[in-house]
Structure 1
Amino acid sequence: MAAYFLAIDGGGTSCRSAVADAHGRILGRGRSGASNILTDPDTALRHIEEAARLALSDAALADVAPEDCVALLGLAGNNVGDAVSYVLERLPFQSAQIVSDGLIALQGAVGDADGAIAIVGTGTIFIARHQGELHYLGGWGFQIGDLGGGARIGHAALQESLLAHDGIRASSALTTSILEEFGNDPRRIVDFARAAHPGDFGRYAPRVVQGAADGDPTALRLMRDAAAQVDEALDAVGRITENSGRLCLLGGLAQVYPSYLADRHRVRLSEPLADALTGAVALAVQTFQTSEAAR
């Protein structure tokens, strides 16, 4: 069995890594650039290897190379077979396994116990573990899913601005500021929306969050509508878990949502035990020790 385990938490903006010994004790950490295996797999591979080498350097393991380690990678897009196969064949490790970035987040948040997480960022996904079985809800992407996510909130804010421009709904400071940004020309908003990606819409979510905190009626309605969608998903999670175990909010909107969620969910929220990278380390040790024992 390899003496060292590498854990990778790869995302669209950065790639974090950790190297651990056979007992799961983290010895060093590293960070590099974006590692989205769907949009740019070759860049992702380069940053994954860079992050791994930085972790080994941080651990003062000068004589250890990525090729000497086994690795578990939590990556977005792990359900796209072609992307995973392409990356797996080119990874520099002794052996490797790619799992969902959501799975390592769940492991970090609740450990080995039953429980659930709601990842509420630009998009949304809900993951539960009950009696050892994993359940994934949502995460279908902006076009047909991600309800309650920042991209959806930003999209709704642009939509409300057009409704206010047309006099269909009352204007507010939020809609006025968005219209002014586009020179009070609705056609510019339409042109923007036609070419926009989820992250482009998501840039308007903080403005909605701040507007709601300031009492803007449009922003408050949008946040309450989004929270109702999260509540609905959490109800489904509760039916799976029988409302047992930890329930943790993760992601960029995790600190925003509690004040908008229904009391039945708010009272159940817990702080995560650890972060996703710590979860990846734990899964790496479990996965490869189990594999070695089965031989």
Structure 2
Amino acid sequence: MSKQYWLGVDGGGTHCRVRLYDDQQQVVGEAVSGSGNLRLGVDQVFAHIITASLHVVRSAGLPDDTLAQVSVGMGMAGACQPQQQAEVAAYSHPFRAVSLLTDAHTACLGAFCGQPGAILILGTGSCGLYFDGQHFHSIGGWGFPISDGGSGAMLGLRLIQQSLLAFDGMQPVTELSQRLLEQLGGHPVDAVAWMDQAKPRDYAALASLVWQAYETGDALADRLVTQHLGDVRLLLRRLQQLGAGRCALMGGLAARTSAQLSAEFGHFLVDPQQDALYGAMLLARDGVELQGGLRT
């Protein structure tokens, strides 16, 4: 019987990472290729995955036809859309098999090595996910600005809103509110022009101003962080209600937020055991069943 391999794929908008494991769960190699955003087209995404996979097998001294022995677990941003799921399922690829979930699902699998547990992603956006051992339960993550409480983008949006209120005399002016307006051009009309071109990541980039000012005792920063922590508490408590006994915080705001909430949530907040690539490997190896990443 030929040897089997499992390939974990973590696909994002900028690039996708792949990691190849052998049948002993030893890492054969890793590689990075182009965008893993399925909205750009399944042909393009598979081309990037195949390119990266060939780089790994060739670097390991394996023949190209090793790909026929590889089962792939794909954790891809936006993979919950039925059309994209169908396109992936129908695609003629060189691999032994392909399984697809979102990158949040594979991050959750990796965080607890396939065992029950929850994650709360606090990055540009936010999303909570609990795996009970058989099913996934998702909360939030409907997209900025209508959802994503506790995210960097929401923190940046609220900073702008409060700074404009301060400019108009409806909130006290602070060093943070002044700095925000200066960064956007110096006047609310500049903020409007900025808004017309801004993406969620641009709002999220402003979150660092809040945390810097929070450390110096700025009153506006204190209010914004308090509101941010309230959003995160709401998400964490809902994950507990769903049955989660532990939760790993992930994303760019995870470390600062965890430091503020660790005493309150005690042993509920834990470090992830593995990453999303490991979770994608488990998806490929164990075939975790989920209706294409749809909410349950």
TM over 0.5: yes
Assess, with a 3 A threshold, how the Cα gap between structure 1 residues 262 and 164 changes in structure 2: closer, same or farther.
farther
More displaced 10-residue stretch of structure 1: 82-91 or 157-166: 82-91
Correspondent of 2:117 among 90, 115, 118? 115
CA distances 1:197-229 after superposition (whole Å, capped 9, x unpaired): 111111111121222122222112111101111
Instruction: Report the number of matched residues.
Output: 286
Q: Is residue 12 of structure 1 aligned with residue 13 of structure 2?
A: yes
DSSP-derived class of the 1:29 partner: strand
State how 1:20-39 maps to structure 2 within 5 Å.
20-39=21-40
2:226 corresponding residue in structure 1: 224
2:180 corresponding residue in structure 1: 178
Counterpart contact for 2:14–2:36, Cα < 8 Å: yes
1:254 corresponding residue in structure 2: 254
State how 1:1-295 maps to structure 2 within 5 Å.
3-39=4-40, 41-88=42-89, 89=91, 91-130=93-132, 132-241=134-243, 244=245, 246-261=246-261, 263-287=263-287
Counterpart contact for 2:99–2:283, Cα < 8 Å: no
Q: Point out which structure has higher relative CO (alpha carbons under 8 A, 6+ apart).
A: 2
Amino acid at match of 1:16: R
More displaced 10-residue stretch of structure 1: 16-25 or 116-125: 16-25
Alpha-carbon shift at residue 67 of structure 1 (Å): 4.5
* Alpha-carbon distance between aligned partners in 2 of 1:168 and 1:174, rounded to the nearest angstrom: 15
CA distances 1:135-188 after superposition (whole Å, capped 9, x unpaired): 111111113211110111111111122111111111212111121123322112
1:293 corresponding residue in structure 2: none
CA distances 1:102-124 after superposition (whole Å, capped 9, x unpaired): 11111111123221111111111
* Alpha-carbon distance between aligned partners in 2 of 1:131 and 1:125, rounded to the nearest angstrom: 19
Counterpart contact for 2:9–2:280, Cα < 8 Å: yes
DSSP-derived class of the 2:137 partner: strand
Counterpart contact for 1:70–1:93, Cα < 8 Å: yes
Q: Structure 1: any 5+ residue segments left out of the alignment?
A: 289-295
Amino acid at match of 1:15: C
Q: Percent of counterpart pairs with the same letter?
A: 32
Amino acid at match of 1:143: P
Assess, with a 3 A threshold, how the Cα gap between structure 1 residues 61 and 155 changes in structure 2: closer, same or farther.
same
Counterpart contact for 1:29–1:56, Cα < 8 Å: no
Amino acid at match of 2:130: A
* Alpha-carbon distance between aligned partners in 1 of 2:185 and 2:198, rounded to the nearest angstrom: 18
- Computed over aligned residues only, the root mean square deviation of the Cα atoms, in angstroms, reads 2.2
Counterpart contact for 2:114–2:279, Cα < 8 Å: no
* Alpha-carbon distance between aligned partners in 2 of 1:274 and 1:96, rounded to the nearest angstrom: 21
More displaced 10-residue stretch of structure 1: 260-269 or 208-217: 260-269
DSSP-derived class of the 1:6 partner: strand
* Alpha-carbon distance between aligned partners in 2 of 1:287 and 1:139, rounded to the nearest angstrom: 25
* Alpha-carbon distance between aligned partners in 1 of 2:111 and 2:67, rounded to the nearest angstrom: 27
DSSP-derived class of the 1:142 partner: coil
Amino acid at match of 1:44: V
Counterpart contact for 1:37–1:84, Cα < 8 Å: no
Q: TM-score, normalised by structure 2?
A: 0.88
Q: TM-score, normalised by structure 1?
A: 0.89
Assess, with a 3 A threshold, how the Cα gap between structure 1 residues 162 and 33 changes in structure 2: closer, same or farther.
same
Q: Structure 2: any 5+ residue segments left out of the alignment?
A: 289-296
